[in-house]
Amino acid sequence: MNSKDWDLEQRRLAAVTSQIQIELAEMQRIVQDRKSDVVGGRQQFWDEMTIDVNDIFETSVSIEQQRKLVAAQETSYLYAQESLRKLERQADSPYFGRLDFVEEGEASVEQI
C-alpha cells in the first residue's frame, strides 16, 4: 500500500470512528430516556391501579392495558440497550477491512 492509499485509509478510519462516537452518544441518550420511561411507567402502573370489586371485569381490562403499555416500554428499552452494545463493540473495532471491485472492461474501482 503506497503512502497516498495509507493516508486515505487513515482518513476513512477517522471518519468511521467519529461517526461511531456520534451515534454512541445519541444512543446513550436514547437508552437513558427509555429507561426513565420504563421506571415512570412502572411507577404510574402501581400508583394508578385501583381495584373495584363491583366491576372486576373493568378492573382487569384496565390492569391488562397498563401491563401492555409497560411491556412495550420495556421492549423498546431492551432494543435500544442492544443497539448501544453493538455500537460499543464497533467502537472497539471500527474498521476491519475493505474490498475493492473492478468489473471487466471498467477502469473505476468500486470500494465496499
CA gap 90, 84 in Å, rounded? 10
Q: Please give the pLDDT value at position 25.
A: 96
Q: Is residue 77 a contact partner of residue 35, using CB atoms and an 8 Å limit?
A: yes
Q: Is residue 41 a contact partner of residue 70, using CB atoms and an 8 Å limit?
A: yes
Q: How many CB atoms lie within 10 A of CB 74?
A: 16
H, E, C per residue of 64-82: HHHHHHHHHHHHHHHHHHH
pLDDT in tens, 11-25: 988 998 999 999 999
Residues of the chain with pLDDT under 50: none
